[in-house]
Amino acid sequence: MTSVSPAVPLNARLQLGHAAVQRVADLNGVDVLHIKGHALDPSITWEGRSSSDVDVLVRPVHLKAFLGGLKEHGWSHYIGFEAGSAFEHAATLVHESWGYVDVHRYFPGITADPSRAFELLWAERGSAEIAGIECPVPSITAQILILVLHSAPLDNRMRGARDVEAAWAHATPQQQAAVNALVGTLGAEVGYAAAMGGLENYRDRPEYALWKMLSEGGTRIDEWRARVAAAPTPRAKARLMLRAPLVNVEHLTVVRGRPPTPWEVVREFFARPLRGIREEVRAWRAGEGRRR
């Protein structure tokens, strides 16, 4: 695994990372939008907000060329799309000098066709100078929406609350109206409701269960059921059901800091269902306790 040199301070490394990633995009004729972190407009963020990696959203038809260009310039694979999250939306690469970059092929919560969604965001893009390089960024309206969607999962709730306070609560009525309009245009109603309230109004949407689990908590079995329900095609549903029992070897590698041995993979294969059963039992007992 590639290790990141501690010689470059984090804040400088992140800014240089944005610049390095944009340089690769320019050399390969790739369209990317820098999102979150140093790409945020100062008017919608809060003092002291920090990040740990560079995030970019790439035009879907440019994805292969972009990943290839990154690898040619010293970035190596860290976590793939399927192993990264329940949405399978981003792959992570790492560079020994510039740290980590999350390459998004779409943004969680936006259900419009990824190519159409990117084109809509690209058409209204702005620019931010980061480490002396002009980096394309979404419009302020889109930046607010991205922050709101990112705040919905429980794992992001603490920082997300501050993001929403800075970006949404301080927005003008005109800005809020523009965000609400963009929600409809990008099909982001369910993720938006998970963050801002009103999720139960979308019980008929296939992605409802996944956002409910992510925003309110649940077991591993809950997550896989929700992921299958949200999958757009029978083939995608079948693929998820076949993968559910398998060990996420990339995640295990990150947790251990090294590739697991074959024996460790086998042991994890049998340990996962036992953890799942224990989680279900605890959830059932907690539910029983609340009903008493």
Task: Quote the pLDDT of residue 119.
Answer: 98
* Residue 16 token pair: 């240089």
Contact 99, 54 (CB under 8 A): yes
In the structure encoding, which two tokens stand for residue 198, read together? 């009103």
Q: pLDDT value at position 8?
A: 76
Measure the N-to-C terminal CA separation of the chain; round to a whole number of Å.
50
DSSP 227-273: HHHH-SSHHHHHHHHHHTTS--HHHHHHHHTSPPPHHHHHHHHHHHH
Tokens read off for 153: 């999962």
257 backbone φψ class: left, alpha, beta (φ>0; ψ -120 to 50): left
Task: Tell me how far apart the alpha carbons of residues 84 and 89 are, in angstroms, rounded to a whole number.
Answer: 8
Q: What is the pLDDT of residue 227?
A: 79
pTM: 0.85
How far is CA 110 from each of CA 190, 192, 231, rounded to the nearest angstrom?
9, 9, 14
Give CA–CA dist 227/21, Å, rounded: 31
What pLDDT, on the 0 to 100 scale, is given for residue 288? 47
pLDDT-flagged residues of the chain (< 50): 288
Q: What is the pLDDT of residue 200?
A: 96
Distances (CA, A) of 46 to 40, 50, 87: 10, 10, 27
Q: Are 176 and 66 in contact (CB under 8 A)?
A: no
191-244 per-position pLDDT tens digit: 999 999 999 999 999 999 999 999 988 777 777 788 788 877 888 777 766 666
Domains of the chain by residue range: 245-292
pLDDT of residue 51: 85
